[in-house]
Structure 1
């Protein structure tokens, strides 16, 4: 009798995994066209945070705030993936910005990304796959 190589993660396990990662992919869809952007991120208090600057990503988030986000990790024997679906929005208040900065987010590139964005989830799912 064999066991499944796929383990579904609980929501708590998914957030725990997200807190250990620093790079993920943001998926947007505008006008029937899907786009995927790599982003540096941090997870805190049930929210995903990232920084960006004015450009395509920010325009797309303003047109359609519904997004998907994925972070994953691949090893020799195990792969883990967590997907967050939710609503993205630009942070504006001092309290929101303080919460985002409190995550310790460090951008992959130290550049002028000064617009903070949060993703508030409507769904979080994760899975761990063992090589069979």
Structure 2
């Protein structure tokens, strides 16, 4: 049985088909990368681009490069809340630094650093697993909130 068969009418949790999850990733550009470093899990925000079935990001020398060099096992998440709906896509995969001609793929993607610091190292995440969920939110406190009057 597929996990998609467990969704019931009126269920506030909707499992996304893998292609829906990929489309969500392609239409966003900011998420969080989780990686291992010296016996601890670290999580950092990154901007990224999708290239086929892998994610790419630019970085500088530092903890991300050291972490993925020592242990290539990573997770990545992108979330969005719009009105009464939230979407979350999580991928798990293997990260590695691209070298030589391979790193020039970045020139063909809409990926540039958001922060004005030099980032010349290209990291690719080969996705082993992708999952996505869309949630119908029930946030009654937002309807009961009394906003301060504007002056």
Which category of TM-score, normalised to the shorter sequence, fits these structures?
over 0.9
Number of residue equivalences? 131
Contact 1:67 1:88 in 2 (8 A): yes
> Which is strand-richer, 1 or 2?
1
- Whole-angstrom CA distance in 1 between matches of 2:121 and 2:134: 33
Aligned equivalents of 1:92, 1:57: Cα separation in 2: 16
Show structure 1 runs of 4+ deviating over 4 A. none
Distance 2:9 2:29 in 1: 34
Instruction: Return the match for 1:117 from 119, 123, 138.
Output: 123
Which structure is richer in relative contact order (CA contacts within 8 A, separation 6 or more)? Answer: 1
Deviations 1:36-55 (A, max 9, x none): 01001011211100000001
- For residues 6-61 of structure 1, what are the alpha-carbon distances to aligned partners after superposition, in whole Å with 9 as ceiling and x for unaligned? 11111111110001111110001234311001001011211100000001111111
Look at both structures and tell me which one has the larger radius of gyration over its CA atoms. 2
1:2 to partner: Cα distance: 6.2
Cα distance in 2 for partners of 1:59, 1:103 equals 24
TM-score, scaled relative to structure 2: 0.81
Alignment partner of 1:107 out of 100, 110, 113: 113
Tell me the secondary structure at the aligned position of residue 104 of structure 1.
Answer: coil
